[in-house]
């Protein structure tokens, strides 16, 4: 794949923080497996602390290109844009 877009569960209406602790690293692993070199990955999540805590092991695979907060119904999720490096 050369582009991947994901709206991960935030653990509020769908899923839970505990389930996200399993889902998020699994998603990062699968995206890393299927993404071509140079692929773009865009992710939105409100589980900012969890997501950022999981990024270190994937730093050699994904270069963060942009990150910004958006506003949705009183929540402040963050959007991350990565580029797949190496292969």
Confidence of residue 13 (pLDDT cuts 50, 70, 90): low
Tell me the whole-structure pTM to 2 decimals: 0.91
Residue 12 predicted with pLDDT over 70: no
Residue 30 predicted with pLDDT over 90: yes
Q: φ and ψ at 43, to 5 degrees?
A: -130, 135
Span 25-50, mean pLDDT? 96
């Amino acid at each position: 794949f050369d582009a991947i877009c994901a709206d991960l569960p935030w653990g509020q209406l769908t899923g839970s923080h505990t389930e996200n602790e399993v889902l998020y690293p699994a998603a990062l692993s699968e995206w890393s497996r299927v993404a071509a070199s140079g692929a773009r990955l865009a992710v939105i999540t409100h589980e900012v602390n969890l997501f950022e805590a999981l990024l270190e092991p994937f730093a050699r695979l994904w270069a963060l290109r942009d990150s910004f907060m958006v506003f949705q119904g009183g929540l402040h999720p963050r959007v991350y844009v990565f580029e797949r490096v190496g292969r």
